[in-house]
């Protein structure tokens, strides 16, 4: 891959010794859920993406097969982890990074705007409605 990409619109999947760019957004997740053969590398690789957020997430997210690294690039938000001790809220500001342990439900609350860089072992990513965690 030699072209410039916008991580807000393009996801990069790193698997073994290759980095492959894919169109990002909801279409990526739909294709992955439908086992699109072109995305086979994404199912066993690390997904690198960035999101500009101007509203809170409306769901919980969880990655059962690997940790996730989330780094705040700009703005601010509240990153919430559902831990064994109950919800843990982290104030994310530029330069702050959190490692989300695999299997941990998490969500984001945004008051104004934020941009988060994600490095995720995305295989098996699961979502559920934003209600109090089980």
Whether residue 51 lies inside any domain: the answer is yes
For residue 122, the enclosing domain spans 10-129
The closest alpha carbon to 50, from 34, 31, 74, belongs to: 74
Phi and psi at residue 26, to the nearest 5°:
-60, -35
Rounded CA-CA distance 127/131 in Å is 12
Count the domains in the chain: 1
In a domain, 2, yes or no: no
pTM score, two decimals?
Answer: 0.87
Give the angle subtended at the CA of 124 by the CAs of 123 and 127, to the nearest 5°: 125
pLDDT band at 2 (very low <50, low <70, confident <90, very high): confident
The predicted-structure confidence for 9-60, as pLDDT tens digits, reads as follows 999 988 878 888 888 888 887 877 777 777 765 667 889 999 999 999 999 9
CATH number at residue 85: 2.60.120.10
End-to-end CA distance of the chain: 42
Please list the helix, strand and coil fractions of the chain in percent, rounded to the nearest 5, in that order: 10, 50, 40
């Amino acid at each position: 891959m030699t072209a410039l990409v916008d991580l807000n619109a393009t996801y990069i999947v790193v698997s073994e010794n290759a980095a492959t760019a894919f169109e990002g957004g909801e279409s990526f997740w739909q294709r992955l859920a439908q086992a699109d053969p072109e995305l086979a590398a994404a199912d066993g690789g690390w997904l690198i993406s960035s999101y500009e957020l101007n509203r809170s997430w409306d769901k919980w997210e969880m990655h059962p097969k690997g940790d996730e690294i989330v780094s705040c690039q700009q703005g601010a938000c509240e990153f919430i982890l559902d831990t064994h001790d109950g919800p843990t809220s982290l104030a994310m500001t530029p330069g702050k990074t959190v490692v989300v342990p695999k299997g941990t439900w998490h969500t984001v609350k945004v008051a104004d705007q934020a941009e988060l860089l994600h490095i995720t072992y995305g295989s098996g990513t699961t979502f559920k409605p934003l209600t109090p965690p089980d």
